[in-house]
Structure 1
Amino acid sequence: MAPGMPMAGPVCLLENRRDKMVLNPEALEILSGISQPVVVVAIVGLYRTGKSYLMNKLVGRNQGFSLGNTVQSHTKGIWMWCIPHPQQPGKILVVLDTEGLGDVEKGDSANDSWIFALAILLSSMFVFNSMGTINQQAIEQLHYVSELTEKIRVKSSPRDDGLQDSSDFVSFFPDFVWAVRDFSLQLVMDGHTITEDEYLENALKFRPGKHRKVEEANMSRECIRLYFRKRKCFVFDQPTTQKGLLARLEEVQEDQLSLQFRQQVQRFCSYVFTDAKTKCLGEGIPVSGTWLGELAKTYVDAIARGDMPCLENAVLVLAKLENTAAVRKATLHYEQLMNRLVHLPTETQQELLDLHAACEKEALQIFMRHSFKDDKRDFQKSLMENLQRIKEDTMQKNELVSFERCNDEIKHLSEPLKKHISQGKFSVPGGYKCYLEEKKAVVDKYQKVPGKGIKADEVLQNFLKSESTMGEAILQADEALSEQEKATAAACALREAAEEKQKLLKQQQEELEQRIKYQERTYEENIIQLKKKLEEDRRQMLESQEQILQHKLKAHEAMLNEGFRDKAKKLQTEIDNLKKQQEDNKQPSFISSALDVLGTVMTIVLPGVGKLAGLGLSLISRRFK
């Protein structure tokens, strides 16, 4: 299937072989063609619990993901189905169906925990599918959650104590949905009707006791409560009481299923379509299909090497890919815009520099929109180097085109003068005056020629300089002039030549000052746009941290109310650390340090800025802090 085309059915994303897990190149090719943001819904649970049926309903089909009709598990590894999002234009819904956990045919269940971990790492909504009720046994089935800290790392550099903060996991984790199938109980507690969500939260309360099974289940409860900020529960009646129909649900007509079950499935699908968020990286950066494929490759490669997948490293891999692409996009846009707007030669250097500044601003905006985590400003530096190179090449080409056009014009206009000189027209008494008049006519015609460009004065001076020797010879040979008149005329010619030279030097100095001015303008534009991006990044970071903080405060209060003070004390430490991080991120140094890094980088890209103009870069950057 061609990248970006609608999928007629699911494809295997990850094949779970006995010896290793292998990504399917076809699935990766499909993802590479999806540039839109993706909403990723993954479902996990014991085998033969009806997971595939729910996933088929999300893509609007009865068939697709294999349901199977025996005790044998059909879904091996992870299967993927991508469709345009039913309710969010411009986004793609990616549905991931995973092989059943606890499949007795596998013999070795070591990969179960990896399938579970990958489903969490790749999704923005994680659905856990179970049968019957949420009881102690069901909670125990979620022991994979508590094992995640041993399977994956958030930071590339672990803390001194080797532990990981739940805050780091929260920022990467998806929303959690528990789907309870064949639910036959009444949602009543203490004589009062409760909601499905209340049923889930009550089941996630810690249970007293020191027994190993209790402690393990409590660990699962704690991880679910701490890692998943948003939790939701759906209970489903049995689809039908007819056993024969249960074995072939994909072939059953809707009206053959119970009305209650159909309504429950509809509510589930509606919730997913409405509430499942775009898959994002830890700092709220939306993930495209291309990125999702790269994430999958990064994680699976780490597992194949025997390493723990590191979320921070995965983000850095994506950042490198995306920042490289951002530099390429911005450079191409700048180049195309300059080619469209700049018509060589320009009359002045400032005209070209003004166009450069406008194109540079747009290129920077594109780069800032697509780049992230360019902490050392290496990619911004690369972009600036590209733009400076293209600008300098354009300026050189501008000068060359102008120089050649002016040379052609002056050569053409001065041909009669050259011819008259060779014919001896001016080698007669009074010839010098005629020579000056004819030379002046050449200059006047030349100056009226339009579109000569920035080398007009330099070419004219070269012409006048080349004529000075011949003019001096004609002057000295003119017998109609006295020696005094000849001396006066010679002095006048020298004075005019000096004035023309001074005029040209002044123009060159002005052009040099313009270049310096525009280099400073380039620096300031980089500072302005970087500061704007950093402020938005900080806003998103603080917003995310505040959400995590409120989530932890709520969990802390619940732990105290349930009498688990030791757990609450541990969580309080994490809360205090998070508050400190928030305060640090609010400080001016959060932005000023990044601007200082950019200042250092720009002195390399724009050598002489500030020094030639008498204005230090630090003074410029200080204005924007």
Structure 2
Amino acid sequence: MSTINHQALEQLHYVTELTELIRTKSSPSSNEEEGSAEFLSFFPDFIWTYLENALTLIPGKDPKVQNSNMTRECIRKFFPKRKCFVFDRPTNDRKLLLHVEELSDNQLDVNFQKQSKDFCSYIFTRAKPKTLRGGITVTGGGFGTLVEAYVDAINSGGVPCLENAVITLAEHENSAAVQKAADHYSEQMTQRLNLPTDTLQELLEVHAACEKEAIDIFMEEHSWTILSNNFFLLNFPLFPWQDIMEKTKDSFIIQNEEASVKYYEAELKQLSESLMKSISGGTFFVPGGHSLYLEAKNKFEQDYKLVPRKGVKANQVLQSFLQSQAGVEEAILQADQALTDADKAMAAECAKKDAAEREQELLREKQNEEKQKMEAQERSFKENLAQLQEKMDRERENLLREQQTMLEHKLKMQKELLTEGFKKEAETLNKEIDQLKEDIQTTEKSFNISDVLDMASMILIAVLPGSYKVLGMGLKFSLIVRKGLRNPSKYILKGFLCFSSVTL
């Protein structure tokens, strides 16, 4: 019910102490004015029932005048967007006024009700949500984490630091985001995979689709990266979800192999039943029995190959069975009196040759699987980088808009001070304005995907197991070619030196 006057402004003295009671960065700044500019990026709109001319500075050098101007100056500096609301008395009945908080709406003055509705409507529709630097919107849970960090700092006798609080919040949010992404990946892999799969590639394609969805969840909904101060709140190895999803993928690969072995051992047992009965019954231990055995074995192999859903371990199961029967075949061969010694020697040599070819086939199959895994790893890595680049670009744009807004406010404030005749005060803003311009240039030149590739290739070399390290070398080389370096050999040598220093 009081009017907006000098005394009302004096009661807002806490505004002048904001830079003393809270810091934006963990490292103390030697320039308070420079540091105070950071507050513009996350302070809310200043909404109060005041008249704009109440913030006009009073001319004069007197200490009282300077003190009076301090609150006005701080409000103008920290709150670029201001809104005025004027309220009538809630009621003209003094008795009711003593218990105004207990009054029902119909007991309040009609004009006051309308003014209150206008005020609430503005807050709900026009007031921006609480954000942190970079345009990060603070949720209810996130706000609770920030408050806890502030209170802990105050209780410990320190000055609350926004950067430290944001790091704490980001670590909490990122951990939750990683878990949500990992849970989505595991859930979708379980739903979409029908084990055993026909091929490893089928599993890897499902993995790629599920991983992309999981990364989208992490990147778009929850992840926090900070482009300023040159640090990422993303944990290495390279991406925080990578280790979890790789382990989960490997687990599915093992499950797929085990399911394939179990399935084909059952199929093999059924298909080989006739062959095994003939062996145990002595059917092949007669003159000409070796030829009969080869005919029965070939028929069994053909029937086995016609089984649907071959599976990743179908060939291995078959080769293991045939290897286990090598002694039986040798016994049948030696017992076959219809064959000469030369025929037996030739047949034995053919059996050894077939066994060697089967071993080579298994080796080629294993090498092909490793190649598929490596290619999938590379595709996944490139997809991660592409999504990270998109996020970095969006954050850079948000940060640039934020910095441009801060710069425009400072320039406007400087112009107002000059218009009001406060030349000295206007000149003090020059350093802040220059710093903001420098920050904008730095943001525009923020590192891009090439920098990430350069860093990531070396990390891959260091952290990937065995043959996957070649992927890191490949990315390093592709980066060299992409950058068009004049003398790539020294970079390749540097990469191989790093490669050789890591135990495979």
In the alignment, is the contact (CA less than 8 A) between 1:381 and 1:602 conserved in 2? Answer: no
Q: Structure 2 matches for 1:306-345, cutoff 5 A?
A: 306-345=157-196
**Residue aligning to 1:273:** 124
**Residue aligning to 2:229:** none
In the alignment, is the contact (CA less than 8 A) between 1:347 and 1:451 conserved in 2? Answer: yes
Structure 2 Cα separation of the partners of residues 599 and 442 of structure 1: 49
Deviation at 1:148, TM superposition (A): 0.9
Q: Aligned AA for 1:361? A: K
Does structure 1 residue 132 correspond to structure 2 residue 3? Answer: yes
Task: Choose which of 506, 519, 530 in structure 1 pairs with 2:388.
Answer: 530
What secondary structure, in the 3-state scheme, does the structure 1 residue paired with 2:188 have?
A: helix
- Name stretches of at least 5 consecutive residues in structure 2 with no aligned partner: 227-231, 484-504
Structure 1 Cα separation of the partners of residues 481 and 402 of structure 2: 29
Deviation at 1:163, TM superposition (A): 5.5
Residues 427/261 of structure 1: CA separation in 2 closer, same or farther (3 Å cut):
closer
**Residue aligning to 2:489:** none
In the alignment, is the contact (CA less than 8 A) between 2:196 and 2:257 conserved in 1? Answer: yes
In the alignment, is the contact (CA less than 8 A) between 2:167 and 2:233 conserved in 1? Answer: no
Task: Choose which of 159, 172, 178 in structure 1 pairs with 2:29.
Answer: 159
Q: Aligned AA for 1:310? A: C
Deviation at 1:532, TM superposition (A): 0.7
RMSD (Å) for aligned C-alpha atoms: 2.3
Q: Structure 2 matches for 1:347-358, cutoff 5 A?
A: 347-358=198-209
Residues 619/569 of structure 1: CA separation in 2 closer, same or farther (3 Å cut):
farther
Moved more, 240-249 or 217-226: 240-249
**Residue aligning to 2:54:** 203
Does structure 1 residue 418 correspond to structure 2 residue 267? Answer: no
Task: Choose which of 21, 43, 49 in structure 2 pairs with 1:179.
Answer: 49
Task: Choose which of 214, 234, 240 in structure 1 pairs with 2:85.
Answer: 234
Q: Aligned AA for 2:91? A: T
Residues 573/517 of structure 1: CA separation in 2 closer, same or farther (3 Å cut):
same
In the alignment, is the contact (CA less than 8 A) between 1:154 and 1:164 conserved in 2? Answer: no
**Residue aligning to 1:540:** 398
Structure 1 Cα separation of the partners of residues 106 and 124 of structure 2: 23
**Residue aligning to 1:372:** 224
Deviation at 1:270, TM superposition (A): 2.1
Deviation at 1:207, TM superposition (A): 0.8
Task: Choose which of 149, 157, 171 in structure 2 pairs with 1:298.
Answer: 149
Q: Aligned AA for 2:3? A: G
In the alignment, is the contact (CA less than 8 A) between 2:453 and 2:476 conserved in 1? Answer: no
**Residue aligning to 1:43:** none
Aligned residues: 476
Task: Choose which of 256, 259, 262 in structure 2 pairs with 1:404.
Answer: 262
**Residue aligning to 2:412:** 554
What secondary structure, in the 3-state scheme, does the structure 1 residue paired with 2:370 have?
A: helix
Does structure 1 residue 563 correspond to structure 2 residue 417? Answer: no
Q: Structure 2 matches for 1:279-290, cutoff 5 A?
A: 279-290=130-141
Q: Aligned AA for 1:354? A: E
Residues 137/588 of structure 1: CA separation in 2 closer, same or farther (3 Å cut):
closer
Residues 614/209 of structure 1: CA separation in 2 closer, same or farther (3 Å cut):
closer
Deviation at 1:499, TM superposition (A): 2.4
Residues 475/519 of structure 1: CA separation in 2 closer, same or farther (3 Å cut):
same
What secondary structure, in the 3-state scheme, does the structure 1 residue paired with 2:49 have?
A: strand
Deviation at 1:150, TM superposition (A): 0.9
Q: Aligned AA for 2:348? A: A
**Residue aligning to 1:616:** 474
**Residue aligning to 1:112:** none
Q: Aligned AA for 1:274? A: T
In the alignment, is the contact (CA less than 8 A) between 2:26 and 2:161 conserved in 1? Answer: yes
Task: Choose which of 413, 432, 440 in structure 1 pairs with 2:298.
Answer: 440
Q: Aligned AA for 1:463? A: F
In the alignment, is the contact (CA less than 8 A) between 1:610 and 1:616 conserved in 2? Answer: no
Residues 503/252 of structure 1: CA separation in 2 closer, same or farther (3 Å cut):
closer
What fraction of aligned residue pairs are identical, expressed as a percent?
47
Bigger fraction of residues in helix: 2
Deviation at 1:495, TM superposition (A): 2.7
Residues 344/258 of structure 1: CA separation in 2 closer, same or farther (3 Å cut):
closer
Residues 483/572 of structure 1: CA separation in 2 closer, same or farther (3 Å cut):
same
Residues 608/429 of structure 1: CA separation in 2 closer, same or farther (3 Å cut):
closer
In the alignment, is the contact (CA less than 8 A) between 2:171 and 2:233 conserved in 1? Answer: no
Structure 2 Cα separation of the partners of residues 590 and 459 of structure 1: 49
Structure 2 Cα separation of the partners of residues 528 and 298 of structure 1: 34
Alignment TM-score, normalising by the size of structure 1: 0.72
Moved more, 609-618 or 476-485: 609-618
Deviation at 1:599, TM superposition (A): 4.2
In the alignment, is the contact (CA less than 8 A) between 1:426 and 1:435 conserved in 2? Answer: yes
C-alpha distance after superposition, 1:484-508 (max 9, x if no partner) = 3323323332332232222222211
**Residue aligning to 2:253:** 395
Q: Aligned AA for 1:141? A: Q
In the alignment, is the contact (CA less than 8 A) between 2:189 and 2:207 conserved in 1? Answer: yes
Deviation at 1:161, TM superposition (A): 4.2
Structure 2 Cα separation of the partners of residues 419 and 149 of structure 1: 90
Task: Choose which of 351, 364, 367 in structure 2 pairs with 1:506.
Answer: 364
C-alpha distance after superposition, 1:228-275 (max 9, x if no partner) = 121011112233333223223345465654443333223222222221
C-alpha distance after superposition, 1:462-483 (max 9, x if no partner) = 1222222221221122111223
Structure 1 Cα separation of the partners of residues 280 and 105 of structure 2: 104
- Name stretches of at least 5 consecutive residues in structure 1 with no aligned partner: 1-48, 50-130, 181-198
Q: Aligned AA for 1:373? A: T
Structure 1 Cα separation of the partners of residues 282 and 307 of structure 2: 28
Deviation at 1:605, TM superposition (A): 4.7
Does structure 1 residue 144 correspond to structure 2 residue 14? Answer: yes
Does structure 1 residue 483 correspond to structure 2 residue 341? Answer: yes
Residues 323/614 of structure 1: CA separation in 2 closer, same or farther (3 Å cut):
closer
Deviation at 1:361, TM superposition (A): 0.7
Bigger fraction of residues in strand: 1
In the alignment, is the contact (CA less than 8 A) between 2:19 and 2:32 conserved in 1? Answer: no
C-alpha distance after superposition, 1:148-196 (max 9, x if no partner) = 111111111122446652320111211001225xxxxxxxxxxxxxxxx
Alignment TM-score, normalising by the size of structure 2: 0.88
Q: Aligned AA for 1:301? A: D
Q: Aligned AA for 1:377? A: L
Structure 2 Cα separation of the partners of residues 151 and 284 of structure 1: 23
Moved more, 613-622 or 136-145: 613-622
Residues 468/243 of structure 1: CA separation in 2 closer, same or farther (3 Å cut):
same
**Residue aligning to 1:27:** none
Structure 1 Cα separation of the partners of residues 81 and 194 of structure 2: 57
**Residue aligning to 1:44:** none
Residues 302/621 of structure 1: CA separation in 2 closer, same or farther (3 Å cut):
farther
Moved more, 376-385 or 323-332: 376-385
Structure 2 Cα separation of the partners of residues 333 and 365 of structure 1: 11
Residues 495/300 of structure 1: CA separation in 2 closer, same or farther (3 Å cut):
same
Moved more, 296-305 or 521-530: 296-305
Structure 2 Cα separation of the partners of residues 227 and 614 of structure 1: 48
Residues 595/308 of structure 1: CA separation in 2 closer, same or farther (3 Å cut):
farther
In the alignment, is the contact (CA less than 8 A) between 2:461 and 2:473 conserved in 1? Answer: no
**Residue aligning to 1:461:** 319
